[in-house]
Amino acid sequence: MTTNSSLRRLLTTLALGAFSATLVTRITDPLVTVLAHDLGSTADKVALLASAFALPFALVQPILGPVGDALGKRRVIATCLMLLTVLLVVSAFAWDLQVLLILRTLAGLAAGGVMPLCIALVGDSVSMQNRQVALSRLLAFAIAGQIAGGSVAGLLEPYLGWRGVMVAAGTVAACGMTAMLLSGRGQAPEPWQRFDPMAAMQRYMSLLRMPAARVLYGSVAIEGGLVFGSFPYFAPTLHSHGMGSTAEAGLTVAAFGIGGLVYAMIARMVLQRIGQGRMVMLGGLLCLIAFLGFGYASSAWMFIGAGLFLGTGMYMIHNSIQTRVTELSPPARGSAVALHAFHFYAGQTLGPVVYGVLLSRFGTAIAFPLAGAVLLLLAIWLGRQVQPKA
């Protein structure tokens, strides 16, 4: 473990790296209309830029996790941020949508290697006693990046144009890369091993044979599916109940992100007062309240407020799972965290399908509270599994 001063520098560096990587996740969402006009395409085709980034972002994590274990986590994070910088700047010169789709796909591959390895590095550097609080701070910057990417891009576009927005995002990524490179100066270089794909696969199989790992990975897949799978149905629900539509749905998602920041601010206090297991259960209760709000809200502000409860409760559960994952296999921490991220995104992929079936059969008054009840039961069960070690 590192000294307090070097630890603060490391956490600041990782926070900037996490912010840089998540900033670009939603950056094209508010630019769809402008991109469609400039590139001679249609809005529905330009909207595919989000999927072109998200899918490789998820799929590359199980690959880059063991690469980080073998070649050095700092080294891989810095390389990913360097590639992300180049790809974002080159994106500013894209002449048609097909080129931009390819560049966004490659950017997703680069960005996908940053956050899991940042989490693994925190696991390498911070004692278990303080790890969850440190991870909550890192998570706050990642959430801030997601919120800023979608909002700041729309605000800057009238002044910089969409091409200028890409360059600005590339500049932020370059700052993250520079900070990561400078943070390693004066320290012993990370050990370098030959990357062995077969050994990486064996590590994954070994992790999946661990009962604790199956509990954590299964839980994060369910959590990701039930929470993020609900997002596409916010606007239709608001519209069908006469409470608004797209704008209100966007505010609900923003409130969810703010809920994550609220969790980061209160994490230390809550952990000290009630402990990790009870905090997970409290998170499940807040999620149930949120989904009851989605099912029975009588105004847009009640619906948006439910988003705040959902963000706070979900991150109480999620950050606790993250913390436990970092202890599954310390020698293969990058692989363990990458497998966690893979299950999380796999759950998010299946979530909208599950909600589509539930909402079509039962409607919002049953489907949303049912999801909340499942999350509460999961949190109660999981809270008993993640009690701190004696």
Three-state helix/strand/coil letters over 193-257: CCCCHHHHHHHHHHHHCCHHHHHHHHHHHHHHHHHHCCHHHHHHHHHHCCCCCHHHHHHHHHHHH
User: From CA 339, how far away is CA 68, in angstroms rounded?
Assistant: 13
User: From CA 293, how far away is CA 347, in angstroms rounded?
Assistant: 23
Domain presence at residue 193: no
Same domain, 258 and 166: no
- If pLDDT is split at 50, 70 and 90, which confidence band does 3 have? low
End-to-end CA distance of the chain: 20
Residue 362 confidence (pLDDT) above 50:
yes
Same domain, 282 and 366: yes
Tell me the per-residue pLDDT of 34-43, one tens digit each, with 9 for 90 and over: 888 899 988 7
Q: Which pLDDT does position 196 carry in this prediction?
A: 66
In terms of DSSP H, where are the helices of 297-328? Answer: 300-325
* Cβ–Cβ < 8 Å for 143, 260: yes
pTM: 0.76
Domain count, the chain: 2
Domain presence at residue 195: no
Range of the domain at 153: 4-183
Same domain, 234 and 377: yes
Tell me the per-residue pLDDT of 133-187, one tens digit each, with 9 for 90 and over: 888 888 888 888 877 776 678 778 888 999 999 999 999 999 999 998 887 666 6
The set of residues, in sequence order, having a beta carbon less than 8 Å from that of 208 and lying 6+ positions away, is 214, 217, 339
The set of residues, in sequence order, having a beta carbon less than 8 Å from that of 58 and lying 6+ positions away, is 112, 341, 342, 345, 346, 349
Same domain, 158 and 224: no
- Helix, strand or coil, per DSSP, at residue 289: helix
The CATH number of the domain holding residue 265 is 1.20.1250.20
| CA geometry: angle 103, 107, 112, nearest 5 deg | 155
User: From CA 111, how far away is CA 183, in angstroms rounded?
Assistant: 19
Same domain, 334 and 240: yes
